[in-house]
Amino acid sequence: MGRSTYAFAFLMALLLASFPSCHTPPPPPVDPRDALIEKGRDIFFTETFNGNGRTCGTCHPAENNFTLDATFIGSLPRDNPLFVAEFNPALKENFENPRLMREFGLILENLDGFDDLANEFVMRGIPHTVSLSTSVASPKGPRTGWSGDGSPGDGSLRSFATGAVIQHFTKTLNRIPGVDFRLPTDDELDALEAFQLSLGRQSELTLPLRLKGTIARRGQELFMDSTVGKCNLCHVNAGPTALFGGNSLGNANFNTGVEALPDQPARLTPENVPTDDGFGRPGDSTFNVPPLVEAASTGPFFHNNAIETIEGAVAFYDGESFNNSPAGRFLRNIDPEGAGIELDGTQIVEIAAFLRVLNALESVRLATDALKASISDKVRTKEQAKELLRTAVSQLQTGVRVLSEGRLHPNAVQSLLKATQIVLAALEHGHDKDLIKKALDEANQARSDMIEP
């Protein structure tokens, strides 16, 4: 190679280096964990496992905070696979109870076995799958589902999908693997677990928060007061773990007397609703403690969807069913005055308001994270960006709903509504960073209306 050729090559190199905009920088490498989560997301929402058409997302839809309620169910088309018992003759009997599903959001589970399908079952709500990384681990082993034992195999969240496919995805009640469904592979279980663990909070809050609202702030005081609300004993930092006498019990099970509630909605119908005996076989009447941060947006409440509103759920602990239960009696026994939980109407609303604000703050956090991610260099496709914007819309709307239903923080509600409109415009007219930044400003404004910096 001659000297002039070297000189030309050197000049070209200089030229290229002086125009960095001429070549797009390579995207950052894909984090293997992110790839696994993405794979899990795809399986969760699209994989039917050769079954009756249901996916995990059928009962845990992202657009409804990964749970079901009667209102959402009512919005679904008649041929949605959730209603498979209504149009698949092989599943007409003893697979679901369509009336209880449509009226109360209840699904059928054969938790004590499949020997007597007509009589041996329970009717349960759909627990959300958010913040599972804070609620599955327990000193006594993993806790999945309402009673903490919803998983076959080793009982882990990873194994949960296998049981769910057998229970809910089957084409017939024969439940023959390879005929009525296929079982998830090890790789699919890994991916599903990674996706589910990625949802929502990855750590607990630290209470008390510096809340601005008078009612929510008082609600927080009552929540944390171990002589009044006593909520923080079993829901430390509004999470799923219990702490007594300085000893953490982790994510424990308790018999709180929910099954003893009078006038449970499903039992007001002529339908057969057997007693739910909770954990174990035969059951010991205990159920697992759920986190409360996301509670206000994920009702109805308790394993049997017995109570529709968060105010009603708080009021449950002031009632006879709870105070006469083993858990209620225990709280009375350790109270210096021998008192159970006694709350007046104002206090019930205040604790519920606190939970509503906690939920709204979490929704704003998730929306903010999604908006920021949508304009980050981690996003590789337009569809990924749109998915993040849809998540942001869903979370902003959740924030609006939980605050509005409690008539709380009207200014924050207006900011969240504005943010929602902006993100919807960004979805419609193309991904615009300026629009996303405006939406972030509104979300931040909503947050600062609810809590001190």
Partner 1 sequence: MNRAIVVVSTLLFIAGSVSAQKMTEMYIPIGHSPGLSGKFTTLGKVTSVNVPAKMVTCTYGADSIEIKVTPRTIIWLDKSGIKQPNQIGTFADCSIGRTIEVKYVNNARSDGGEAEWIKVQISGPQ
Q: How far is the CB of 205 from partner 1 (least distance, A)?
A: 23
Our CB check for partner 1 shows the closer of 122 and 355 to be 122
Q: How far is the CB of 198 from partner 1 (least distance, A)?
A: 20
Q: How far is the CB of 260 from partner 1 (least distance, A)?
A: 14
CB-based burial label for 227 (10 Å; 0-12, 13-18, 19+): exposed
Q: How far is the CB of 120 from partner 1 (least distance, A)?
A: 10
Q: What's the DSSP call for residue 301?
A: B
Distance CA 222, CA 314 (A): 11
Our CB check for partner 1 shows the closer of 242 and 258 to be 242
Q: Which residue has the tokens 């409440």?
A: 301
Q: How far is the CB of 292 from partner 1 (least distance, A)?
A: 19
Q: How far is the CB of 207 from partner 1 (least distance, A)?
A: 21
Our CB check for partner 1 shows the closer of 271 and 284 to be 284
Our CB check for partner 1 shows the closer of 50 and 404 to be 50
Contact (CB, 8 A) for 124 and 109: yes
Our CB check for partner 1 shows the closer of 77 and 245 to be 245
Q: 135: Cβ–Cβ under 8 A, 6 or more apart, which residues?
A: 143, 239, 240, 251, 290, 291
Our CB check for partner 1 shows the closer of 73 and 122 to be 122
Q: Which residue has the tokens 């005996």?
A: 277
Q: Cα torsion for 47, 49, 54, 55, to the nearest 10°?
A: -30
Helix, strand, coil shares of the chain as percentages rounded to 5?
50, 5, 45
Distance CA 336, CA 149 (A): 34
Q: Which residues lie near partner 1 (CB under 8 A)?
A: 110-115, 140-141, 147-149, 151-156, 158-159, 162-163, 166-167, 174-179, 183, 186, 189, 242, 244-247, 249, 252-255, 278-281, 283-284, 286, 326-327, 329-330, 333-334
